[in-house]
């Protein structure tokens, strides 16, 4: 269909009378300012065809046509093009027909010959304009209807008095009534009774002109009694009269906020609980940074919110729990999203406190963790009460030692651990001799004071991990765990015997007692705690019957061995003051020249009765008992003095090697003792080489780096002894100021007949070269060993093949001869 030019209006004249049609045409064309475009049809069929083929702005329709008559003609035109305005032309002035034509959609009704061209043109323009307005209005109504029916929020039209005129589907769904039911109600009928007065007052204020719209949140009572929260905007539509004050109707837009109100109430409740809870609460983000804490958290921990926000809960860490504890916690959080348990934290003041914590992960709609929420209950007081009650139930009130109950529990645990670790447990059963006489003579108060002092001495005679218990009266027990040798138990027993025989001061009265001790060993003597107790008790009675103030093992064989060690220890204690120790020296040779470059100081003990005691029999015992400290100090003084004498008289560049044990390395005064020995002897620090076992280098209980740095600052030489027997890393060795590696003797012993050991020796030499250290090969006893070590590139060598350890006098003569050992002659010449 072709559109007419926008400057001309197209008029379709449907008229079967040619004269009338021509007259209409003349009337319309008579206006030259804005002429119409004329289309003509002599019957209805041609008119309908023209409507199909052309754009038509208005139809002038004669109701009496050859193929149609009356209002049916109008109806068919309207059915074909409902939006095209129609002006009816008729030959009769029939008012009834005119009104009916207008009711059926005609824009105007004109009688032929009843007017002039102006009337006709005005009628056509009016029809076109009115049709345009009708179309726009219909479009507006359609749009409104679409919005009204499909809006996601409720829309309600109501009378000024509140009677509902119309409600859209969204509102009907909101309150559960259909539109027909709502139109029989007023807003008051579905408003919650508590909100009726407030809502009515706001409507009255709007009706009176006080406001044009109202915004409020109120409750509806839906069908069935359900309460619905709505957020309303009520707007007044007023009459178009002179003052425009009368309200025609109101438009109410309602948003259902029931769920939002529920969430707000829930959040308000949660916030109230969070802020007022007696338990400490804190929230972190997914990276464990604290984002919120409540007042109780501050009260419990002492930290204000701004002191912990952005930090992790590690700020509370007490250091009491190991990494495995936190790993188990995170495993639970990862698997189940929650964890609860007892945890010790630290307050801002530094005080530790016990807390029961519940931690839960918070996830979003995608299942991703967004937060963690933790609840802390301070259970310190409860724990203290529990511990106090537990202590009272498990400890003797007089001596504060574990009582019989706790003793049995600890003995069972000690036996179980020893079974797992394949170690020994020693049980000492102690009975006080002559306690009854003290009690009867000086009174019960003195007896109680004596028991308390005995408890203190027993505790002082044992290690921290051992258990001293009071069973009843004057009976005490000691549980020794991780016993390496039965003789260790004998050492403790005799220490106790000596301590308890010393006089006791009982409020000004001196008392003398002694003790009888029985010892039984697990698993050597018994395989269960009860039998162990019986055997130790029996051994104690045997000691008492043998004269008191003594100790007896359940096993006679162990008894003999244990006291053999005690005898050795007692003799060792006297050896230093009786001048039974001697320092021997063994030369260390340079592989290239065959000359002596150093001597190693070696301790020897000449016992007046048994003769020479080899170091393997007493050095470890001296180390265990701590006697190695004064003995080592004496060796340093003697050896430094002798070495300086040889440097002045024999070899100017002679070095002195002195061995240090792990206990000596832990001695705080070690560096001071070395400095004193050097100053007294005049030996230069660079001439003293300290040989330190590799096992001490990797000992976690020793800060080797700091100690060796002090050696280095003093100018001392340092050699790592028994290298290859431990697990020190090369990176660690590189940080130590060591000058030499002294390989383990086991490698030297097997180097000639073991491929593995020869490869290890090669590796040790390579490591030493890489770290610019010398390699010393000790313990060489055969020419084959010497030949192999020479081929590997060792720097220095010592051993029985070349020279045995000798006294200072013999060493002086050896240095004076300045002879190369025969075994080294071939190596040097080669």
Answer yes or no: is pLDDT of 325 > 80: yes
Identify the sign of the CA torsion 345, 351, 352, 354: negative
Half-sphere exposure of 514 (CA within 13 A, CB side): 12
- Looking at residue 675, its pLDDT comes to 94
| Amino acid 94: pLDDT | 74
Question: What is the per-residue burial (b if ≥16 Cβ within 10 Å, else e) of 540-554?
Answer: bebbbeeeebbbbbb
Dist CA 118 CA 546 (whole Å): 156
Place of tokens 């083929």: 53
pLDDT, tens digit, for every residue of 551-605? Answer: 888 877 676 666 666 677 778 888 888 899 999 999 999 988 999 999 999 999 9
Distances (CA, A) of 208 to 202, 213, 260: 10, 12, 33
Pairing, β 10-14 against β 37-41: parallel
pLDDT at site 107: 75
* Crossing angle for the helix pair 670-681 and 628-649, to the nearest 10 degrees: 30
Model confidence at 289: pLDDT above 70: yes
Looking at residue 141, its pLDDT comes to: 66
Residue 326 burial (CB count, 10 A)? 13
For residue 506, the SS3 value is strand
State the number of CA atoms in the 13 A half-sphere of 415 facing the CB: 21
Strand ranges, E, within 412-559: 424-433, 467-472, 475-483, 504-506, 509-511, 514-522, 550-553
Q: Is a pLDDT exceeding 70 seen at residue 616? A: yes
- What pLDDT sits at residue 34? 59
User: Does residue 282 sit in helix, strand or coil?
Assistant: strand
Could you report the per-residue pLDDT of 53-76, keeping only the tens digit for each? 888 888 888 888 888 888 888 888
Pull the structure tokens for residue 135.
Answer: 């179309």
Residues 752, 723 contacting (CB under 8 angstroms) = no
Axis crossing angle, helix 444-460 with helix 435-442, rounded to the nearest 10? 140
Question: Rounded to whole angstroms, how far apart are CA atoms 283 and 264?
Answer: 19
Say how far apart CA 199 and CA 217 lie, in whole Å: 9
Buried b (16+ CB within 10 A) or exposed e, 185-221: bebbebbeeebeeebeebbeebbeeeeeebeeebbbb
Cα separation, 155 vs 773, whole angstroms:
94
**Averaged pLDDT, 369-398:** 87
Provide DSSP, 646-703: HHHHT-TT-EEEEE--HHHHH-TTHHHHHHHHHHHHT--GGGEEEEEEHHHHT-TTS-
Residue 660's Cα: distance from chain center in Å?
44
pLDDT score of 416: 93
Annotate 319-383 with DSSP letters as a single string: S-S-HHHHHHHHHHHHHHSEEEEEEEEE-TTS-EEEEEEEEEEEE-TTS-EEEEEEEEEE-HHHH
From the CB of residue 436, how many other CB atoms can be counted at a distance below 10 Å?
Answer: 12
What pLDDT, on the 0 to 100 scale, is given for residue 142? Answer: 64
The sign of the dihedral angle between the CA atoms of 432, 436, 441, 444 is positive
| pLDDT for residue 561 | 65
The answer to whether 659 and 722 have CB atoms below 8 angstroms apart is: no
Is the pLDDT higher at 36 or at 394?
394
Q: Cβ-count burial of 582 within 10 angstroms (0-12 exposed, 13-18 middle, 19+ buried)? A: middle
Q: Which of 638, 582, 591, 640 is nearest to 614 (CA)?
A: 582
SS (H, E, C) 74-131: HHHHHHHCCCCCEEEEECCCCHHHHHHHHHCCCCEEEECCCCCHHHHHHHHHHHHHHH
Q: At what angle do helices 380-394 and 404-421 cross, to 10 degrees?
A: 100
pLDDT at 464 over 50: yes
From the list 224, 229, 314, the residue with the least C-alpha distance to 263 is 229
Q: Chain-wide mean pLDDT for the chain?
A: 85
562 vs 54: CA distance, rounded Å:
132
Using 50, 70 and 90 to split pLDDT, how confident is the model at 752? low
pLDDT band at 22 (very low <50, low <70, confident <90, very high): confident
pLDDT tens digits along 759-793? 888 888 888 888 888 999 999 999 888 988 888 88
Whole-number Å distance between alpha carbons of 755 and 757: 6
Rounded Cα–Cα distance for residues 362 and 371 (Å): 5
Grouping H, G, I as helix, E, B as strand and the rest as coil, residue 452 is helix
Q: For residue range 345-356, what is the model confidence (pLDDT) as tens digits? A: 999 998 888 889
Rg of the chain taking only CA atoms, in angstroms: 57
Please report which confidence band the pLDDT of residue 529 belongs to, taking 50, 70 and 90 as the band edges: very high
Output DSSP code: residue 191.
B
Which carries the bigger pLDDT value, residue 2 or residue 682? 682
| Verdict on whether the full-model pTM lies above 0.85 | no
Tens of pLDDT, residues 106-136: 877 777 765 566 677 777 777 677 767 777 6
Q: What are phi and psi of 348, to 5 degrees?
A: -60, -35
Q: Distance between CA 567 and CA 559 in Å, rounded?
A: 12
Residue 25 has pLDDT above 60, yes or no: yes
C-beta neighbour count of 765 within 10 angstroms: 20
Find tokens 């007046």 and name the residue.
608
pLDDT of residue 7 exceeding 90, the answer is no
223-227, 269-273, 390-394, 550-554: least confidently modelled range: 269-273
pLDDT over 50 (residue 640)? yes
pLDDT attached to residue 3:
43
Give, for 252, the enclosing helix (H) or strand (E). strand 247-256
Lowest mean pLDDT segment, chosen from 80-84, 457-461, 478-482, 520-524: 80-84
Q: CA–CA distance from 71 to each of 15, 68, 74, 102, 286 (Å)? A: 15, 9, 5, 10, 79
Tokens of 606: 């000449």
Which residue is listed with tokens 């007892």?
Answer: 342
Quote the CA–CA distance of 67 and 14 in Å, as a whole number.
12
Alpha-carbon distance of 561 to 751, in angstroms, equals 37
pLDDT of residue 655: 96
Share of the chain above pLDDT 70, in %: 91
Cα separation, 156 vs 182, whole angstroms: 10
Q: Name residues whose C-beta falls within 8 Å of residue 726's C-beta, 6 or more positions apart in sequence.
A: 693, 694, 695, 697, 698
Cα(354)–Cα(343) distance, integer angstroms = 6
Token code pair at residue 379: 């259970």
Distance, in Å, from the CA atom of 195 to the CA atom of 201, rounded to the nearest integer, reads 10
Residues 305-325: b if buried by 16+ CB within 10 A, e if exposed: eeebeeeebeebeeeeeeeee
In which band, very low, low, confident or very high, does the pLDDT at 2 lie, cut at 50, 70 and 90?
very low
Mean pLDDT computed over 543-554: 85
SS3 463: coil
- The predicted structure's pLDDT at residue 114: 57
Q: How far apart are CA 778 and CA 483, in angstroms?
A: 33
Among residues 78, 119, 126, 129, which one has the least CA distance to residue 101? Answer: 78
Q: What is the mean pLDDT of residues 500-522?
A: 91
Token pair listed for 487: 């003789």
Query: What pLDDT does 455 receive?
Result: 95
Distance separating the N- and C-terminal Cα atoms of the chain: 123
**Listed range (82-96, 293-307, 314-328, 495-509) with the worst mean pLDDT:** 82-96
């Amino acid at each position: 269909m072709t559109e007419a030019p926008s400057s001309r209006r197209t008029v379709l004249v449907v008229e079967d009378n040619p004269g009338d049609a021509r007259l209409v045409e003349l009337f319309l064309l008579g206006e030259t300012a804005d002429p119409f475009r004329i289309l003509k049809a002599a019957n209805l069929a041609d008119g309908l065809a023209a409507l199909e083929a052309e754009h038509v702005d208005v139809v002038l329709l004669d109701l009496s046509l050859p193929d149609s008559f009356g209002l049916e003609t109008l109806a068919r035109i309207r059915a074909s093009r409902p939006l095209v305005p129609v002006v009816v032309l008729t030959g009769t002035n029939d008012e009834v027909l005119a009104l009916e034509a207008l009711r059926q959609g005609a824009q105007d009704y004109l009688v032929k010959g009843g007017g002039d061209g102006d009337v006709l043109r005005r009628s056509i323009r009016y029809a076109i304009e009115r049709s345009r307005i009708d179309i726009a209005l219909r479009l507006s109504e359609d749009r409104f209807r679409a919005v009204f029916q499909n809006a996601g929020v409720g829309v309600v039209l109501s009378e000024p008095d509140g009677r509902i005129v119309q409600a859209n589907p969204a509102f009907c769904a909101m309150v559960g009534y259909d539109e027909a039911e709502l139109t029989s109600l007023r807003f008051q009928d579905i408003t919650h009774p508590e909100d009726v007065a407030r809502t009515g007052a706001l409507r009255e204020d709007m009706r009176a002109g006080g406001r044009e719209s109202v915004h409020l949140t109120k409750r509806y009572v839906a069908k069935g009694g359900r309460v619905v929260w709505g957020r309303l905007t009520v707007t007044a539509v007023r009459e178009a009269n002179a003052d425009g004050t009368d309200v025609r109707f109101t438009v109410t837009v309602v948003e259902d906020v029931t769920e939002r109100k529920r969430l707000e109430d829930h959040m308000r409740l949660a916030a109230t609980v969070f802020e007022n809870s007696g338990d400490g609460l804190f929230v972190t983000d997914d990276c464990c940074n604290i984002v919120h804490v409540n007042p109780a958290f501050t009260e419990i921990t002492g930290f204000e919110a701004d002191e912990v926000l952005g930090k992790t809960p590690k700020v509370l860490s007490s250091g009491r729990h190991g990494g495995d504890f936190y790993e188990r916690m995170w495993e639970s959080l990862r698997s189940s999203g929650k964890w609860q348990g007892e945890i010790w934290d630290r307050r801002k003041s530094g005080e530790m406190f016990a807390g029961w914590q519940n931690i839960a992960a918070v996830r979003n709609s995608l299942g991703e963790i967004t937060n963690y929420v933790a609840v802390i209950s301070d259970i310190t007081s409860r724990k203290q009460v529990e511990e106090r009650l537990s202590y009272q139930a498990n400890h003797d009130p007089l001596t504060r030692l574990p009582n019989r109950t706790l003793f049995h529990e600890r003995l069972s645990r000690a036996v179980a651990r020893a079974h797992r670790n394949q170690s020994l447990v020693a049980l000492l059963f102690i009975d006080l001799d002559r306690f009854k006489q003290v009690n009867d003579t000086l009174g019960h108060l003195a007896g109680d004071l004596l028991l308390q002092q005995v408890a203190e001495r027993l505790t002082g005679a044992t290690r921290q991990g051992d258990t001293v218990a009071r069973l009843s009266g004057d009976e005490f027990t000691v549980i020794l765990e991780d016993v390496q040798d039965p003789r260790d138990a004998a050492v403790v027993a005799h220490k106790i015997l000596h301590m308890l025989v010393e006089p006791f001061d009982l409020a000004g009265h001196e008392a003398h007692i002694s003790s009888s001790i029985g010892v039984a060993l697990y698993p050597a003597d018994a395989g269960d705690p009860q039998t162990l107790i019986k055997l130790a008790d029996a051994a104690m009675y045997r000691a008492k019957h043998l004269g008191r103030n003594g100790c007896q093992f359940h096993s006679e064989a162990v008894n003999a061995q244990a006291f053999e060690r005690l005898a050795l220890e007692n003799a060792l204690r006297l050896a230093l003051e009786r001048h039974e120790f001697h320092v021997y020296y063994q030369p260390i040779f340079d592989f290239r020249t065959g000359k002596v470059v150093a001597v190693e100081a070696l301790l020897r003990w000449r016992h007046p009765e048994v003769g020479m005691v080899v170091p393997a029999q007493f050095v470890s015992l001296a180390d265990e008992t701590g006697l190695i400290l004064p003995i080592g100090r004496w060796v340093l003084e003697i050896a430094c003095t002798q070495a300086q004498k040889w440097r002045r008289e024999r070899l100017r560049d002679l070095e002195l090697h002195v061995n240090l044990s792990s206990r000596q390395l832990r001695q705080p005064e070690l560096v001071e003792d070395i400095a004193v020995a050097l100053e007294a002897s005049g030996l230069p620090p660079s001439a003293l080489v300290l040989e330190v076992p590799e096992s001490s280098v990797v000992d976690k209980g020793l800060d080797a780096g700091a100690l060796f740095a002090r050696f280095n600052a003093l100018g001392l030489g340092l050699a790592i002894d028994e290298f290859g027997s431990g697990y020190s890393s090369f990176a660690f060795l590189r940080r130590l100021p060591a000058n030499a590696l002294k390989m383990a003797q086991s490698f030297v012993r097997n180097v000639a007949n073991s491929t593995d050991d020869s490869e290890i020796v090669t590796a040790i030499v390579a490591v030493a070269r890489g770290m610019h250290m010398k390699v010393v090969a000790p313990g060489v006893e055969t020419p084959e060993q010497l030949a192999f070590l020479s081929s590997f590139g060792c720097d220095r060598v010592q051993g029985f093949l070349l020279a045995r350890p000798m006294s200072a006098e013999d060493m002086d003569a050896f240095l004076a001869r300045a002879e190369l050992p025969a075994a080294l002659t071939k190596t040097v010449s080669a």
